Structure 1
Amino acid sequence: MKQVRRTLAGLALAAVLLTGSVFAAVPAAPEGSCVLDEANVLSERTEQAVNDLTIALSEACGAEIAVLTVDFTGASSTADYAAEALNSWGVGDRDKNNGVLLLLVIGAEDYYCTVGTGLEKDLPPQKIDDLLWNNLEEGFAKGDYDAGVTAFANAMYDELCDIYGVQPDQSTGGSVAPAPERPSFLARIGGFLTMVIVLLVLIALVVLGSILHPVRYVRTRWFGYSYPPIPPRRHFYGGWSRRPPPP
C-alpha cells in the first residue's frame, strides 16, 4: 500500500512539474521599470541604462524598449512568448502601438525581438535580425548578457530616433532636443545659382580681359608661338631687328 502511495505521489509531482513547464505563463509587467530579469543575468546598471533609453523615447515619440529574461518558455515558442509579453505588458504608445520587446531565454540559449504593428513597416524582420546579430549575438554567445543587451538597446534606440526624427536629450530626463532642420529646396537652389553666377562672372572677366588686352603671339624659329612677344634683338653685326608677326 505504501508503495502505491509513493508511486501516486511521484506521478502527481511529475504532473505538476510537467504542467508548470508546458504552461509557462508570461510574468506580469514590472512596476516602475521596463526590464524584468527573471533569469537573473542582468546587472542593475544594465537595467538602469535600458530604462533611461525608454524614458527618453517615451517622452519624445511614445516608443518604448522592454527587456524580459526567463529560463524557459514552456510549450510556447520563443516568438509566441515574446509576442504575448509585448501585448500583455502594453509596451509602447497605445495608439501608435510602437513598442519593442527583447526576450532572452537563457535555458534554451535563444532570444527574440518583437515589435508592435506600428513599427512593422519601419522595422521588418530582416532589419531586426541584423540588429540582433550585430549587437546582441556576440555577448549572448559569450554569456555576457549585459554587453549584448546594452548594445542592442542602444542600436534600437538609434533606429527609433531615426524613424521618428527625434533626438531625445537623456541628460535632462528625456526632454526632446529639436532635430537639425534639413536645408529647404529653395536654399539648395539658391546655393547652386550662386555657384553658377560666380562661374559666369569669372568667364566674363576672362573674355573681357582678352578683348581689351589682346595677346600677341610671335612665331619663333623652333617652338612655334610664344608669349609674351619676344622683344627686338640686336644682332652681332649691328642694327635692330624684330621677327615678323605670325601670318
Structure 2
Amino acid sequence: MKQALIIGGSTGMGKATAEILLATGIEVVIVARDGDNLHAAEKELSHRGKVRIFPVDLSNLEEVKNFAEKLSRELPELKYLVNAAGYFKPKSFLEHSLEDYDIYHDFNKAFFLITQAAARVMKENGGGSIVNVGSMWAKQAIKATPSSAYSMAKAGLHSLTHHLAMELADYNIRVNAVSPAVVVTPIYSSFIEADQITETLQGFNSFHPIGRVGTAEDVAKTINFLLSDETSWVTGAIWDIDGGVIAGRN
C-alpha cells in the first residue's frame, strides 16, 4: 500500500488533504504536536481508511531528528509528502522578538530534516511527490497583516521547492508548492477566537478578486492534484491558490 506523510495533518489543509488521499486507498501518516487535535483527527479519519499518527513537536529539534531517523522503518512504502504545518500571528517588524522569529523558522528546519529523510525513502522506491504549503505573503507584503518573519520563512520554503525540484528530479521525485491567500483554517486561532474565525475572515472576501476567502478543501484538492500522476510533468512550480490575489485585487 502506498503511503503518504502529512506534516501538520491534524487540522486545516493538511487534514483535508488526508481525507482525499484516504479515499483513494493510500495509507496516511500524520505528524503533529501531541494534543486533542491530533487524536481527534485520528479518530475521525480512521473511518475513511488506514491512518497512523506520530506526535512530534516541530519546534523540538530532538523530537524532529528522532522521527526523521526512524522514518524509513515506519514508512517503507512512502510515495507522498505534504509539508503543511504552520503558525501565523501578525506583528510589526519593530515588535518582533527572537522567539517570534524562531517559531516560524523552526518549522522550516523541521521540514528540511523530515523531507531529507522522506526523499531518501522515495529514492529507494523509484520516485515520489512532495508538496510544500507556502503562502501568498511570501510573494507580496500586506500592510494590514505585518508578517516579516512568517513571510521570510515561507519565501524560504518556496526557494527550497525550486532547489529540491532540480536536485531530486534524477530520482523521479517531483517537488511543488501551493501558495494560498486567506483560507479559513485554525491557523488564525493565535489571534482570533476559534469559534469566530469563519465569521471574521468573511471581511476579507472582497480582498480576493474571485469574491470569497478560500476553504481548506480548495487548497487540498490542488495539493492532491500536484501529488498525483495527473501532474507528472510538473515540478518546481509554486501554484497560487488565492482567489486571484496575485493577479490583482478589487
TM-score normalised by structure 1 residue count: 0.32
Higher relative contact order (CA 8 A, sep 6+): 2
TM-score normalised by structure 2 residue count: 0.32
Structure of larger gyration radius: 1
